[in-house]
Protein backbone atom coordinates (compact mmCIF):
# COMPACT_ATOMS: atom_id res chain seq x y z
CA UNK A 1 0.00 0.00 0.00
CA UNK A 2 1.28 3.46 -0.94
CA UNK A 3 1.28 6.21 1.67
CA UNK A 4 1.39 9.92 0.92
CA UNK A 5 1.70 13.01 3.04
CA UNK A 6 -2.04 13.58 2.64
CA UNK A 7 -3.10 10.04 3.56
CA UNK A 8 -0.91 9.98 6.68
CA UNK A 9 -2.15 13.43 7.67
CA UNK A 10 -5.72 12.19 7.36
CA UNK A 11 -4.95 9.18 9.59
CA UNK A 12 -3.45 11.41 12.28
CA UNK A 13 -6.42 13.82 12.13
CA UNK A 14 -8.88 10.92 12.41
CA UNK A 15 -7.01 9.53 15.42
CA UNK A 16 -6.91 12.93 17.09
CA UNK A 17 -10.65 13.34 16.55
CA UNK A 18 -11.27 9.88 18.02
CA UNK A 19 -9.04 10.59 21.02
CA UNK A 20 -10.97 13.76 21.79
CA UNK A 21 -14.21 11.79 22.10
CA UNK A 22 -12.81 10.66 25.47
CA UNK A 23 -13.46 7.00 24.76
CA UNK A 24 -9.86 5.96 25.48
CA UNK A 25 -10.00 7.54 28.96
CA UNK A 26 -12.17 4.66 30.22
CA UNK A 27 -9.83 2.15 31.88
CA UNK A 28 -12.23 -0.76 31.37
CA UNK A 29 -12.41 0.08 27.67
CA UNK A 30 -8.60 0.02 27.48
CA UNK A 31 -8.52 -3.40 29.13
CA UNK A 32 -10.96 -4.71 26.55
CA UNK A 33 -8.69 -3.46 23.75
CA UNK A 34 -5.68 -5.14 25.37
CA UNK A 35 -7.57 -8.42 25.56
CA UNK A 36 -8.56 -8.05 21.90
CA UNK A 37 -4.89 -7.51 21.05
CA UNK A 38 -3.90 -10.61 23.02
CA UNK A 39 -6.53 -12.74 21.27
CA UNK A 40 -5.45 -11.43 17.87
CA UNK A 41 -1.88 -12.39 18.70
CA UNK A 42 -2.93 -15.90 19.65
CA UNK A 43 -5.12 -16.25 16.56
CA UNK A 44 -2.33 -15.07 14.25
CA UNK A 45 0.58 -16.89 15.89
CA UNK A 46 1.19 -19.15 12.89
CA UNK A 47 1.08 -16.25 10.41
CA UNK A 48 3.57 -14.28 12.50
CA UNK A 49 5.89 -17.27 12.87
CA UNK A 50 5.81 -17.81 9.10
CA UNK A 51 6.55 -14.12 8.50
CA UNK A 52 9.45 -14.11 10.97
CA UNK A 53 10.88 -17.15 9.21
CA UNK A 54 10.63 -15.40 5.86
CA UNK A 55 12.28 -12.22 7.12
CA UNK A 56 14.89 -13.59 9.52
CA UNK A 57 14.77 -17.40 9.22
CA UNK A 58 13.68 -17.56 12.84
CA UNK A 59 12.50 -21.04 13.73
CA UNK A 60 8.93 -21.25 15.10
CA UNK A 61 10.39 -22.01 18.55
CA UNK A 62 12.71 -18.99 18.59
CA UNK A 63 10.00 -16.75 17.13
CA UNK A 64 7.63 -17.65 19.94
CA UNK A 65 10.30 -17.65 22.67
CA UNK A 66 11.69 -14.18 22.04
CA UNK A 67 9.19 -12.30 19.87
CA UNK A 68 5.61 -13.48 20.32
CA UNK A 69 5.30 -15.11 23.76
CA UNK A 70 6.76 -12.15 25.69
CA UNK A 71 4.02 -9.86 24.31
CA UNK A 72 1.36 -12.13 25.79
CA UNK A 73 3.15 -12.03 29.16
CA UNK A 74 3.37 -8.23 28.88
CA UNK A 75 -0.34 -7.85 28.14
CA UNK A 76 -1.23 -10.14 31.04
CA UNK A 77 0.83 -8.00 33.42
CA UNK A 78 -0.76 -4.79 32.15
CA UNK A 79 -4.32 -6.10 32.39
CA UNK A 80 -3.70 -7.25 35.94
CA UNK A 81 -2.27 -3.93 37.13
CA UNK A 82 -3.90 -1.24 34.98
CA UNK A 83 -6.83 -0.37 37.26
CA UNK A 84 -4.43 0.31 40.12
CA UNK A 85 -1.92 2.24 37.99
CA UNK A 86 -4.57 4.46 36.38
CA UNK A 87 -6.34 5.36 39.62
CA UNK A 88 -5.86 9.05 40.48
CA UNK A 89 -3.53 9.58 43.44
CA UNK A 90 -4.86 11.51 46.44
CA UNK A 91 -2.52 13.77 48.39
CA UNK A 92 -2.93 16.00 51.42
CA UNK A 93 -2.44 19.53 50.16
CA UNK A 94 -0.40 20.59 53.20
CA UNK A 95 -0.76 23.46 55.62
CA UNK A 96 0.83 25.91 53.16
CA UNK A 97 -2.24 25.40 50.95
CA UNK A 98 -4.86 25.80 53.72
CA UNK A 99 -7.87 25.69 53.57
CA UNK A 100 -7.38 23.23 50.67
CA UNK A 101 -6.91 19.71 52.02
CA UNK A 102 -7.14 17.53 48.89
CA UNK A 103 -4.98 17.34 45.78
CA UNK A 104 -5.27 14.70 43.07
CA UNK A 105 -2.80 13.51 40.43
CA UNK A 106 -4.55 12.29 37.27
CA UNK A 107 -2.65 10.00 34.88
CA UNK A 108 -3.65 11.41 31.50
CA UNK A 109 -2.76 9.92 28.10
CA UNK A 110 -0.67 12.06 25.78
CA UNK A 111 -3.04 11.58 22.86
CA UNK A 112 -1.94 10.37 19.43
CA UNK A 113 1.26 8.32 19.59
CA UNK A 114 3.75 7.39 16.86
CA UNK A 115 5.55 4.06 17.30
CA UNK A 116 8.55 3.46 15.04
CA UNK A 117 9.62 -0.17 15.34
CA UNK A 118 12.71 -2.05 14.04
CA UNK A 119 13.29 -5.21 12.00
CA UNK A 120 15.13 -7.39 14.50
CA UNK A 121 12.23 -8.18 16.85
CA UNK A 122 9.37 -6.78 14.82
CA UNK A 123 6.57 -8.33 16.90
CA UNK A 124 7.57 -7.60 20.50
CA UNK A 125 9.06 -4.20 19.66
CA UNK A 126 5.84 -3.26 17.86
CA UNK A 127 3.02 -4.89 19.81
CA UNK A 128 4.81 -4.62 23.16
CA UNK A 129 5.06 -0.86 22.73
CA UNK A 130 1.50 -0.72 21.37
CA UNK A 131 0.29 -2.44 24.57
CA UNK A 132 1.97 0.31 26.60
CA UNK A 133 0.36 2.98 24.42
CA UNK A 134 -3.08 1.37 24.75
CA UNK A 135 -2.82 0.98 28.52
CA UNK A 136 -1.96 4.67 28.77
CA UNK A 137 -5.12 5.56 26.83
CA UNK A 138 -3.51 6.72 23.58
CA UNK A 139 -4.22 6.04 19.93
CA UNK A 140 -1.34 4.73 17.81
CA UNK A 141 0.16 5.11 14.37
CA UNK A 142 2.78 2.39 13.93
CA UNK A 143 5.57 2.80 11.39
CA UNK A 144 6.92 -0.74 11.07
CA UNK A 145 10.20 -1.64 9.37
CA UNK A 146 10.44 -2.11 5.62
CA UNK A 147 13.37 -4.49 6.15
CA UNK A 148 11.12 -7.09 7.78
CA UNK A 149 8.48 -6.69 5.09
CA UNK A 150 6.64 -10.00 5.63
CA UNK A 151 6.20 -9.38 9.36
CA UNK A 152 5.17 -5.77 8.74
CA UNK A 153 2.44 -7.00 6.40
CA UNK A 154 1.32 -9.63 8.92
CA UNK A 155 1.18 -6.97 11.64
CA UNK A 156 -0.69 -4.57 9.36
CA UNK A 157 -3.36 -7.17 8.72
CA UNK A 158 -3.55 -8.22 12.38
CA UNK A 159 -4.08 -4.64 13.58
CA UNK A 160 -6.49 -3.79 10.73
CA UNK A 161 -8.61 -6.84 11.60
CA UNK A 162 -8.59 -5.96 15.30
CA UNK A 163 -8.92 -2.17 15.56
CA UNK A 164 -10.35 0.66 13.44
CA UNK A 165 -7.76 2.83 11.71
CA UNK A 166 -8.88 5.82 13.77
CA UNK A 167 -7.59 4.00 16.87
CA UNK A 168 -4.56 1.96 15.78
CA UNK A 169 -2.96 1.29 12.41
CA UNK A 170 0.28 -0.06 10.93
CA UNK A 171 2.07 1.81 8.16
CA UNK A 172 4.74 0.18 6.01
CA UNK A 173 7.29 1.79 3.72
CA UNK A 174 10.85 3.04 4.02
CA UNK A 175 12.61 6.03 5.54
CA UNK A 176 10.67 8.40 3.29
CA UNK A 177 7.40 7.29 4.89
CA UNK A 178 8.94 7.56 8.36
CA UNK A 179 9.94 11.14 7.56
CA UNK A 180 6.39 11.96 6.44
CA UNK A 181 5.16 10.63 9.80
CA UNK A 182 7.72 12.70 11.67
CA UNK A 183 6.51 15.85 9.93
CA UNK A 184 3.12 15.34 11.58
CA UNK A 185 2.29 16.64 15.03
CA UNK A 186 2.14 13.70 17.41
CA UNK A 187 1.75 13.84 21.18
CA UNK A 188 4.18 11.01 21.93
CA UNK A 189 6.87 9.33 19.85
CA UNK A 190 8.44 5.98 20.75
CA UNK A 191 11.38 5.03 18.56
CA UNK A 192 13.42 1.81 18.67
CA UNK A 193 16.59 1.67 16.60
CA UNK A 194 20.02 3.22 16.21
CA UNK A 195 21.45 6.31 17.93
CA UNK A 196 22.12 7.87 14.53
CA UNK A 197 18.47 7.76 13.47
CA UNK A 198 17.38 8.70 17.00
CA UNK A 199 19.08 12.08 16.58
CA UNK A 200 16.95 12.66 13.49
CA UNK A 201 13.79 11.59 15.33
CA UNK A 202 14.53 13.98 18.20
CA UNK A 203 15.23 16.83 15.79
CA UNK A 204 11.87 16.32 14.08
CA UNK A 205 10.06 15.92 17.40
CA UNK A 206 11.56 19.16 18.66
CA UNK A 207 9.61 21.12 16.04
CA UNK A 208 6.43 20.32 17.97
CA UNK A 209 8.09 19.82 21.38
CA UNK A 210 6.79 16.26 21.32
CA UNK A 211 7.67 13.93 24.19
CA UNK A 212 10.05 11.22 22.95
CA UNK A 213 11.09 7.81 24.27
CA UNK A 214 14.09 6.15 22.63
CA UNK A 215 15.17 2.51 22.91
CA UNK A 216 18.63 2.29 21.34
CA UNK A 217 21.38 -0.27 21.05
CA UNK A 218 24.18 1.92 22.32
CA UNK A 219 26.87 3.71 20.33
CA UNK A 220 29.80 1.58 21.51
CA UNK A 221 28.08 -1.70 22.29
CA UNK A 222 27.39 -3.84 25.34
CA UNK A 223 30.16 -5.46 27.35
CA UNK A 224 30.41 -8.79 29.14
CA UNK A 225 33.15 -9.08 31.76
CA UNK A 226 34.43 -12.57 32.62
CA UNK A 227 36.59 -12.69 35.76
CA UNK A 228 39.07 -15.49 36.45
CA UNK A 229 36.82 -16.87 39.22
CA UNK A 230 33.77 -17.23 36.92
CA UNK A 231 32.16 -20.59 36.20
CA UNK A 232 33.56 -20.80 32.68
CA UNK A 233 31.39 -23.63 31.40
CA UNK A 234 28.18 -21.97 32.59
CA UNK A 235 29.33 -18.59 31.30
CA UNK A 236 30.22 -19.97 27.86
CA UNK A 237 26.91 -21.82 27.62
CA UNK A 238 24.88 -18.69 28.28
CA UNK A 239 26.95 -16.40 26.04
CA UNK A 240 26.80 -18.90 23.16
CA UNK A 241 23.01 -19.13 23.42
CA UNK A 242 22.70 -15.34 23.46
CA UNK A 243 25.04 -14.71 20.54
CA UNK A 244 23.23 -17.32 18.43
CA UNK A 245 19.84 -15.79 19.17
CA UNK A 246 18.69 -13.83 16.11
CA UNK A 247 22.27 -14.12 14.79
CA UNK A 248 23.39 -11.41 17.21
CA UNK A 249 20.92 -8.84 15.88
CA UNK A 250 19.75 -7.84 19.35
CA UNK A 251 20.07 -4.43 20.97
CA UNK A 252 20.94 -5.93 24.38
CA UNK A 253 23.30 -8.59 23.00
CA UNK A 254 26.95 -8.84 23.96
CA UNK A 255 29.02 -6.74 21.58
CA UNK A 256 32.40 -7.69 23.07
CA UNK A 257 33.73 -9.79 25.92
CA UNK A 258 36.48 -8.73 28.31
CA UNK A 259 37.97 -11.93 29.74
CA UNK A 260 40.68 -12.34 32.37
CA UNK A 261 43.80 -13.46 30.52
CA UNK A 262 44.48 -16.02 33.24
CA UNK A 263 41.50 -18.07 32.00
CA UNK A 264 41.11 -16.71 28.45
CA UNK A 265 42.26 -19.83 26.59
CA UNK A 266 40.15 -22.13 28.71
CA UNK A 267 37.12 -19.89 28.34
CA UNK A 268 37.50 -19.72 24.56
CA UNK A 269 37.65 -23.50 24.34
CA UNK A 270 34.45 -23.75 26.37
CA UNK A 271 32.77 -21.10 24.21
CA UNK A 272 33.71 -22.92 21.00
CA UNK A 273 32.39 -26.20 22.43
CA UNK A 274 29.09 -24.55 23.31
CA UNK A 275 28.65 -23.03 19.86
CA UNK A 276 29.18 -26.44 18.28
CA UNK A 277 26.94 -28.18 20.81
CA UNK A 278 24.08 -25.74 20.35
CA UNK A 279 24.15 -25.07 16.59
CA UNK A 280 26.68 -27.47 15.00
CA UNK A 281 30.11 -27.03 13.46
CA UNK A 282 28.75 -24.85 10.66
CA UNK A 283 25.92 -22.66 11.92
CA UNK A 284 25.07 -21.35 8.46
CA UNK A 285 24.01 -24.90 7.46
CA UNK A 286 21.62 -25.24 10.39
CA UNK A 287 17.99 -24.41 9.45
CA UNK A 288 17.30 -23.18 13.00
CA UNK A 289 20.02 -20.54 12.78
CA UNK A 290 18.58 -17.11 11.80
CA UNK A 291 19.83 -15.13 8.84
CA UNK A 292 21.09 -11.57 8.67
CA UNK A 293 18.48 -9.04 7.62
CA UNK A 294 20.20 -7.86 4.41
CA UNK A 295 23.14 -8.73 2.18
CA UNK A 296 24.69 -5.42 3.25
CA UNK A 297 24.97 -6.71 6.83
CA UNK A 298 26.41 -9.99 5.54
CA UNK A 299 29.03 -8.07 3.54
CA UNK A 300 29.94 -6.12 6.67
CA UNK A 301 30.53 -9.37 8.59
CA UNK A 302 32.56 -10.78 5.71
CA UNK A 303 34.76 -7.66 5.62
CA UNK A 304 35.40 -7.80 9.37
CA UNK A 305 36.31 -11.47 9.06
CA UNK A 306 38.71 -10.63 6.23
CA UNK A 307 40.30 -7.73 8.12
CA UNK A 308 40.80 -9.85 11.26
CA UNK A 309 41.42 -13.21 9.57
CA UNK A 310 44.62 -13.85 11.54
CA UNK A 311 42.78 -13.43 14.84
CA UNK A 312 39.70 -15.55 14.11
CA UNK A 313 39.72 -18.53 16.48
CA UNK A 314 36.23 -19.77 15.59
CA UNK A 315 33.83 -19.23 12.69
CA UNK A 316 34.53 -16.61 10.08
CA UNK A 317 32.53 -18.34 7.37
CA UNK A 318 29.04 -17.97 5.99
CA UNK A 319 26.54 -18.68 3.27
CA UNK A 320 26.01 -15.53 1.22
CA UNK A 321 23.09 -16.96 -0.73
CA UNK A 322 21.23 -17.68 2.52
CA UNK A 323 22.59 -14.48 4.14
CA UNK A 324 23.81 -16.49 7.13
CA UNK A 325 27.13 -15.80 8.84
CA UNK A 326 28.49 -18.12 11.52
CA UNK A 327 29.22 -16.87 15.05
CA UNK A 328 32.78 -15.62 14.84
CA UNK A 329 35.21 -15.23 17.75
CA UNK A 330 38.04 -12.77 17.20
CA UNK A 331 40.90 -12.95 19.74
CA UNK A 332 42.87 -11.15 21.03
CA UNK A 333 41.49 -7.66 20.45
CA UNK A 334 42.75 -4.48 22.09
CA UNK A 335 40.20 -2.35 23.97
CA UNK A 336 41.37 0.55 21.79
CA UNK A 337 40.66 -1.32 18.56
CA UNK A 338 37.99 0.22 16.34
CA UNK A 339 36.15 -3.12 16.33
CA UNK A 340 35.12 -2.68 19.97
CA UNK A 341 34.22 0.99 19.75
CA UNK A 342 30.92 0.70 17.88
CA UNK A 343 27.88 -1.55 17.92
CA UNK A 344 28.33 -4.59 15.64
CA UNK A 345 24.74 -5.95 15.70
CA UNK A 346 25.88 -9.23 14.22
CA UNK A 347 27.34 -12.65 15.17
CA UNK A 348 30.85 -11.15 15.31
CA UNK A 349 32.28 -11.47 18.85
CA UNK A 350 35.55 -9.71 19.71
CA UNK A 351 37.30 -10.88 22.90
CA UNK A 352 39.49 -8.46 24.87
CA UNK A 353 41.97 -10.01 27.37
CA UNK A 354 42.88 -8.21 30.58
CA UNK A 355 44.77 -8.97 33.79
CA UNK A 356 42.22 -9.89 36.43
CA UNK A 357 43.97 -7.67 38.97
CA UNK A 358 43.47 -4.74 36.56
CA UNK A 359 39.73 -5.17 36.02
CA UNK A 360 39.20 -1.58 37.17
CA UNK A 361 40.92 -0.45 33.98
CA UNK A 362 38.27 -2.25 31.92
CA UNK A 363 35.53 -0.63 33.99
CA UNK A 364 37.14 2.76 33.40
CA UNK A 365 37.18 2.15 29.64
CA UNK A 366 33.49 1.22 29.68
CA UNK A 367 32.63 4.28 31.77
CA UNK A 368 34.56 6.59 29.44
CA UNK A 369 32.55 5.45 26.41
CA UNK A 370 28.88 5.96 25.65
CA UNK A 371 26.53 4.27 28.08
CA UNK A 372 25.64 0.74 26.91
CA UNK A 373 22.10 -0.60 26.86
CA UNK A 374 23.20 -3.69 28.78
CA UNK A 375 26.12 -4.98 30.84
CA UNK A 376 26.88 -8.53 31.94
CA UNK A 377 29.30 -9.67 34.66
CA UNK A 378 30.42 -13.25 35.27
CA UNK A 379 32.19 -13.89 38.58
CA UNK A 380 31.97 -15.73 41.88
CA UNK A 381 32.61 -12.49 43.75
CA UNK A 382 29.00 -11.36 44.03
CA UNK A 383 29.88 -8.56 46.46
CA UNK A 384 32.21 -7.04 43.86
CA UNK A 385 29.67 -7.56 41.10
CA UNK A 386 26.92 -5.87 43.13
CA UNK A 387 29.19 -2.90 43.73
CA UNK A 388 30.03 -2.58 40.03
CA UNK A 389 26.43 -2.87 38.89
CA UNK A 390 25.40 -0.24 41.43
CA UNK A 391 28.00 2.29 40.28
CA UNK A 392 28.32 1.89 36.47
CA UNK A 393 25.93 3.63 34.06
CA UNK A 394 24.05 1.39 31.61
CA UNK A 395 20.49 0.44 30.73
CA UNK A 396 20.19 -2.87 32.58
CA UNK A 397 22.05 -6.10 32.97
CA UNK A 398 22.76 -9.38 34.72
CA UNK A 399 25.23 -11.02 37.05
CA UNK A 400 26.10 -14.55 35.89
CA UNK A 401 23.25 -14.49 33.38
CA UNK A 402 22.29 -12.96 30.02
CA UNK A 403 19.26 -11.00 28.82
CA UNK A 404 16.73 -12.27 31.38
CA UNK A 405 16.57 -8.91 33.19
CA UNK A 406 14.21 -7.63 30.51
CA UNK A 407 11.80 -10.51 31.13
CA UNK A 408 11.21 -9.72 34.81
CA UNK A 409 7.72 -8.42 35.60
CA UNK A 410 7.35 -5.03 37.22
CA UNK A 411 10.78 -3.65 36.33
CA UNK A 412 11.70 -1.01 33.73
CA UNK A 413 13.59 -1.61 30.51
CA UNK A 414 15.60 0.90 28.49
CA UNK A 415 18.92 2.68 28.27
CA UNK A 416 20.42 6.03 29.13
CA UNK A 417 22.22 8.57 27.00
CA UNK A 418 23.25 7.02 23.68
CA UNK A 419 21.41 3.80 24.60
CA UNK A 420 18.06 5.49 25.12
CA UNK A 421 15.74 7.56 27.27
CA UNK A 422 12.49 6.80 29.01
CA UNK A 423 11.46 3.29 30.10
CA UNK A 424 8.70 0.79 29.55
CA UNK A 425 7.31 -2.69 30.40
CA UNK A 426 4.41 -3.10 32.80
CA UNK A 427 3.70 -0.06 34.95
CA UNK A 428 6.76 1.71 33.54
CA UNK A 429 5.17 1.58 30.09
CA UNK A 430 1.98 3.04 31.53
CA UNK A 431 4.02 5.89 33.02
CA UNK A 432 5.87 6.45 29.76
CA UNK A 433 2.62 6.92 27.83
CA UNK A 434 0.84 9.10 30.39
CA UNK A 435 1.35 12.55 31.83
CA UNK A 436 0.70 13.15 35.56
CA UNK A 437 -1.62 16.13 36.03
CA UNK A 438 -1.83 17.67 39.49
CA UNK A 439 -5.13 19.27 40.52
CA UNK A 440 -5.68 21.03 43.85
CA UNK A 441 -9.26 21.31 45.11
CA UNK A 442 -9.70 24.73 46.67
CA UNK A 443 -12.21 26.05 49.20
CA UNK A 444 -14.44 29.14 49.24
CA UNK A 445 -14.42 29.25 53.05
CA UNK A 446 -11.82 29.96 55.75
CA UNK A 447 -9.37 31.47 53.25
CA UNK A 448 -6.62 33.38 55.04
CA UNK A 449 -5.16 36.50 53.34
CA UNK A 450 -1.59 35.23 53.75
CA UNK A 451 -0.67 35.41 50.05
CA UNK A 452 -2.25 38.81 49.53
CA UNK A 453 -0.76 42.27 50.06
CA UNK A 454 0.29 43.97 52.24
CA UNK A 455 3.60 42.17 52.75
CA UNK A 456 5.06 44.85 55.06
CA UNK A 457 4.19 46.44 58.37
CA UNK A 458 2.49 44.65 61.25
CA UNK A 459 0.31 42.52 58.98
CA UNK A 460 3.37 41.46 56.98
CA UNK A 461 5.17 40.38 60.14
CA UNK A 462 2.13 38.36 61.27
CA UNK A 463 1.92 36.65 57.89
CA UNK A 464 5.62 35.82 57.94
CA UNK A 465 5.28 34.28 61.40
CA UNK A 466 2.37 32.11 60.25
CA UNK A 467 4.25 31.07 57.10
CA UNK A 468 7.19 29.88 59.20
CA UNK A 469 4.79 27.82 61.31
CA UNK A 470 3.24 26.25 58.18
CA UNK A 471 6.69 25.42 56.78
CA UNK A 472 7.40 23.03 59.64
**Domain of 467?**
442-471
Question: Is-contact 197 251, C-beta < 8 A?
Answer: no
Question: Are both 81 and 162 inside the same structural domain?
Answer: yes
- Give the 3-state secondary structure of residue 280: coil
- 450 and 424 in a common domain: no
Give pLDDT, residue 95: 85
Give the 3-state secondary structure of residue 294.
Answer: coil
What is the structure's pLDDT at 211?
97
Domain count within the chain: 3
- Strand residue runs (E) in 311-448: 312-314, 318-319, 324-325, 328-330, 348-354, 374-378, 396-399, 420-421, 434-441
Alpha-carbon distance of 385 to 180, in angstroms, equals 46
User: Are 250 and 308 part of one and the same domain?
Assistant: yes
- The verdict on 199 and 87 lying in the same domain is yes
Provide the whole-model pTM: 0.96
pLDDT at 443: 94
Task: Give the C-alpha separation, 468 to 59, whole Å.
Answer: 68
Q: Which residues pair with 105 in a beta bridge?
A: 89, 438
Buried b (16+ CB within 10 A) or exposed e, 183-194: ebebbbbbbbbb
Give 187's contacts (C-beta < 8 A, 6+ positions apart): 110, 111, 112, 113, 138, 210, 211
Catalytic residue among 215, 219, 270, 370: 215
Q: Are both 425 and 449 inside the same structural domain? A: no
**135, 251, 398, 403: which is the annotated catalytic residue?**
251
Q: What is the CATH number of the domain that holds 74?
A: 3.40.605.10
pLDDT at res. 315: 97
Measured distance CA(92)–CA(101) in Å, rounded: 5
> In the prediction, which pLDDT does 124 show?
98
Nearest to 164 by CA among 306, 316, 14: 14
Q: Is 215 a catalytic residue?
A: yes
What pLDDT, on the 0 to 100 scale, is given for residue 468? 86
Specify the CATH number for the domain of residue 287. 3.40.309.10
* Residue 135 annotated among the catalytic residues of the structure: no
Do 460 and 430 belong together in one domain? no
pLDDT along the chain (472 residues), means of 10: 93 98 98 98 98 98 97 98 98 90 97 98 98 98 98 98 98 96 98 96 98 94 98 98 98 98 98 98 95 98 98 97 98 97 97 98 97 98 98 97 96 96 97 98 90 92 87 73
Same domain? 202 vs 229: no
Amino acid sequence: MEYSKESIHDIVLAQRKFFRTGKTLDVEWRIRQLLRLKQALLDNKKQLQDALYEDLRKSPMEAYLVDIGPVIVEINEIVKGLRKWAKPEKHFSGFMCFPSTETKVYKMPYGVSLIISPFNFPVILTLGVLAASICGGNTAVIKASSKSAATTEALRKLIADTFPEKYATVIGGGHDVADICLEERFDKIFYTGSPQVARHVMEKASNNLTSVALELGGETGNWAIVRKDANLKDTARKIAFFKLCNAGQICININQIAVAEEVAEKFLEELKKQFVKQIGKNASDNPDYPKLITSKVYDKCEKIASDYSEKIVFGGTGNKEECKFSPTIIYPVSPDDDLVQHELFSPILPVVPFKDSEVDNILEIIADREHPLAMYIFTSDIKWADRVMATQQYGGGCINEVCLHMMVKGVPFNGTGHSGMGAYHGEWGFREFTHPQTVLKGSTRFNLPLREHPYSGVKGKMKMALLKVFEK
